[in-house]
Structure 1
Amino acid sequence: MVEDMKGKIRVFCRIRPLTRAEQAKRGHTIVACLDDYSVILETPRGPREFQFDKIFNSECTQEEVFIESSGLIQCAIDGFNVCIFAYGHTGSGKTFTMVGDRDQRNPGIIPRTFTKIFEIIHDNDSKFEFKVSAYMLELYNDRLQDLFVSPAEAFSKRIEIKRDRKGLVFAQGAETKEAASAGELFALFEQGCGNRHIASTKMNVESSRSHLIIGIMIESRNLTNGSVCFGKLSLVDLAGSERAAKTGAKDDQLKEANSINKSLSALGDVISALSMEQPHVPYRNNKLTQLMQDSLGGNAKTLMFLNISPSDCNLDETLTSLIYATRVKAITNNAQRNVDSKEIAQLKEVCILFIKITPFY
């Protein structure tokens, strides 16, 4: 019932613990959970309350976070367009939520998703035939780069954002690779992560300097009636919003920060337009909003993870993030299942075969 709530973009809020640096500076907590759905932020003007679909306090484990979101993976296998993305300022814990720690002792949503996909496939392989493929991109300094190839090759590659007739976004020119197991998918992911841009800032030892976008396509054929489903699962780890003076960004890092803030500002404009139901939504103002067009105000089942800091030193960033996420919660999508009948699926196969064997002059 929860997964099928029509059109509702769900927002989960996760509060990270105070860091050692914040404790050393005698920082104090200004965020409190009233219950599983309400959070209070202490501000100079008094407390402000925000409500979301789920609140995870600083003691919640990676497993608990994943269990609450894992139902959406079944939706992708069932033929829906699904998006899970993390938002928050630099150092708020987005990458820990999505990826986990460096040695994977506490894996995040992305690696756990790989395992869950193939667990579901294994449980249903007597009734369905499955095909899983993926692409992995980063949006760095306003440029889309393919993480499945070397940085040198990626720099010379041109990737264009396209939409099919059903409104589904895809990256034309990006390397798409098949995976037959969770291990193969994770190996591709590790390869891509090795090519991603990261750096150290005053707010984060290992700060993501780009937006990470993983697209997992899942095709399933019903062995009984021949119908075919196409599901797409987008996993997005957004780079953190930040103030240059606070992070100490200079030179290249300053350029990166400006690009990140520009794209997040464009995303904010889209969210504002959608939440106020304006007739024009400025998706085309940035590549990030083009990439997320089918996830925000599109045909996806979407879950946003809002990551926030409880420290008083991050009051402004936390308040901004909470307001931002409240707008996201007001957006309505129109999720539709992507399924073809046996006859349509066979016709598509004939067309593809004809294209492959027909010479063009």
Structure 2
Amino acid sequence: MFISTEDENMPLPLENGKALENSSPVGSNPDSNDDEPSQEIPSTFTDVNVVQEDEKFQLEQRILNLEGEIVSLRHKERSLDEKRREALNKILDIKGCIRVFSRVRPFSPTDKQRTHQPISVESEKIVVRSGGSRKEFEFDKVFPQESLQEDVFAEVEPIIRSALDGHNVCILAYGQTGTGKTYTMEGITESPGIIPRVLQELFNLSSLDSSISFTFSISMLEVYLGSIRDLLAPRPSSRKYTASRCNLNIQTDSKGSVEIDGLTEVEISNFTKAKWWYHKGRRVRSTSWTNVNETSSRSHCLTRISIYRYGDTLGGKPEATKLWMVDLGGSERLLKTGATGQTLDEGRAINLSLSALGDVIAALRRKKGHVPYRNSKLTQVLKDSLGDKSKVLMVVHVSPYEEDVGETTCSCTFAKRARAAECNRELSEESKKQREKRIVELEGQMKEAEEGCTDLSTQIQKADFLLSENRRLFVKKYQPLEDEETFPITPKENVPEITVTPRNSEKGLKTNVTSSVPRFMSSTVASRIRETTAEKEIHSRPKSVRSWARSSMQISGSQSNSFDRRFKAHLRTSNKRSRYSEINTMAGDIKYGDDSDIKPSVLPQSKTIAPSDPKPRKPLAHHRRRMSDLL
């Protein structure tokens, strides 16, 4: 037995795992990188589609949550706005639906040195002294001579909010000629009056409410000599203009709403446009010179702002309300003004309509079943803005001069009748204190509701922005995938689609043509030109006849006869045309179907392809379909 003396190193199998590692093919590969550690194979696998679906689901949930949050915020906003409206309406009801203010005109610069003044002014009272007698007249508020336009508008502003809330509102300026009625309503550039400030406030308040949208329109009219004149009507060069402008009828529907047929109504989208239309109507108003005023208004000027409210709770039909701003003509004694002729008639008409207005207010005070609205055009127009559920504000203007004491007394008496329509008896001091306390509480509630609405509006704007961003992200990231899922295209389906390579002259134009028929069966360029040319030749005459007939229908009969010769000449020249020239003129108008995008410019310019048959025949159904398209 032969025994080797050399030491034999026989590795143990799987000793410390090194033998298997050394004997592995990777370990013996000379190209392998021994320095880089081998990557471990993960035990779990992550599907990319699962991650994408999860992100898509989270984004959808985020969008749904934002939509629900916006709905909830809008519901809270409507609830707070309803509380604000109720508080404001209660405040106006406590103060009176018919409120009467008084404004004393200041002395002119030349008359400031007068020491004796027949009237004295308190916060809510005017005392008139004349001939040893003393009369007191109470008002809701009295504006002294040094009051500003801002002070007057501060009392007007609450009923502007009421007009936007859905109540009819009427603001009237009453008083003797020359006491500043027009100044209070219109003002001047440096100190605007009620009307410009109201227009500005309407647009400011409507922009704050995001839950309701508003549209406004303006109309202007004057009651002149017992008739209604449209101040915004256009001025065509017609003799019937004056008659048609004054022929406006007043109608009342079953709900008591007053409408004036033929009255011009212009939509106003901003304050600048509204101011322009108002000044346009004001310039047409009737004025005249009298002994009392150089530019005395000889009519009642009425400005109407129609307010249309659109909201989710209102449905598709808008809610319409009216805001009247009335500059009444001056109540005056005819002997004092020295009016004669037409000016005398104008003064009488003004006094009659003012008397009718007083009768209406007296009837409302006594709550009679019959109110004499029809005694004057003025009261007929303002019928739905003087009665129940309406807010009326009257500013009575008085003169501080001693020679005007009689007119001042009459104006204050008229105001007393108007106030009696709401407060039949004077309140005690205790009742006045309780009323003031209740008004303060309601004003606090209204202010709290307004602040809550402002905060909710800010939150809604932020949520709307986030919602729009998430929707944009969803459309950008997942909408293309949804389109591919809706119309899946796999290589196995082998859709026969051919992409026509454009020529050099047609770079940028690509057309996808589906090969529903073999290529050798499709029409050639020459055949398509022949077909199009033949169709143009056949249908050119009906089109020309139809165009001439249409033009003759749009003119009068006497004018259409003058075109007969031209029409006949057109037919003669169309019959004498050469077919080759016809092809040249039509070549620029050829439009090919969806299966080709080749233009005639591709063909050599020196060659003109003419049809082999000058009168090709088409199937009858084809011609009927083409002719029906022309009819």
- The one of 105, 108, 111 equivalent to 2:193 is 108
Aligned pair count?
328
Please name the residue that 2:147 is paired with.
60
Percentage of identical aligned residues: 41
Please, which moves more after superposition, 175-184 or 283-292?
283-292
Report the Cα offset of residue 45 of structure 1. Answer: 4.1
2:181 equivalent to 1:181? no
Report the Cα offset of residue 21 of structure 1. Answer: 6.3
TM-score, reference length from structure 2: 0.50
CA 1:110–1:225 in structure 2 vs 1: closer, same or farther (change >3 Å)?
A: closer
Report the Cα offset of residue 226 of structure 1. Answer: 4.0
The one-letter amino acid of 2:208's match is D
The one-letter amino acid of 1:100's match is G
Q: Which runs of 5+ in 2 are unaligned?
A: 1-89, 424-631
Please name the residue that 1:129 is paired with.
213
Please name the residue that 2:371 is paired with.
281
- The one of 370, 377, 386 equivalent to 1:296 is 386
SS of equivalent to 1:47: strand
CA 1:7–1:66 in structure 2 vs 1: closer, same or farther (change >3 Å)?
A: closer
* Distance in 2, Cα, partners of 1:69 & 1:246: 33
The one-letter amino acid of 1:120's match is L
The one-letter amino acid of 1:96's match is Y
SS of equivalent to 2:351: helix
SS of equivalent to 1:92: coil
- The one of 145, 165, 169 equivalent to 1:78 is 165
2:395 equivalent to 1:311? no
SS of equivalent to 1:328: helix
RMSD: 2.1
Please name the residue that 1:165 is paired with.
254
Please name the residue that 1:50 is paired with.
137
Q: Which runs of 5+ in 1 are unaligned?
A: 334-361
- The one of 240, 243, 267 equivalent to 1:155 is 243
Asked if the contact 2:97/2:390 (under 8 Å) is kept, the reply is no
SS of equivalent to 1:272: helix
Please name the residue that 1:144 is paired with.
228
* Distance in 2, Cα, partners of 1:28 & 1:108: 30
Please, which moves more after superposition, 283-292 or 268-277?
268-277
* Distance in 1, Cα, partners of 2:227 & 2:218: 20
SS of equivalent to 1:320: helix
2:362 equivalent to 1:240? no
**What's the CA shift string for 1:156-201, capped at 9, x where partnerless?**
2321112233322222210111000111111110010111001121
Asked if the contact 1:267/1:289 (under 8 Å) is kept, the reply is yes
Higher helix share: 2
2:118 equivalent to 1:30? yes
Please name the residue that 1:211 is paired with.
300
Please name the residue that 2:289 is paired with.
200
Report the Cα offset of residue 225 of structure 1. Answer: 6.7
* Distance in 2, Cα, partners of 1:21 & 1:249: 26
* Distance in 2, Cα, partners of 1:168 & 1:67: 29
Asked if the contact 2:289/2:296 (under 8 Å) is kept, the reply is yes
* Distance in 1, Cα, partners of 2:139 & 2:112: 28
2:185 equivalent to 1:98? yes
Asked if the contact 2:105/2:399 (under 8 Å) is kept, the reply is yes
**What's the CA shift string for 1:242-285, capped at 9, x where partnerless?**
11221121211111111111111222222233323344322111
SS of equivalent to 2:385: coil
Please, which moves more after superposition, 155-164 or 247-256?
155-164
Report the Cα offset of residue 155 of structure 1. Answer: 3.5
TM-score, reference length from structure 1: 0.85
The one-letter amino acid of 1:143's match is S
* Distance in 1, Cα, partners of 2:283 & 2:350: 20
Higher strand share: 1
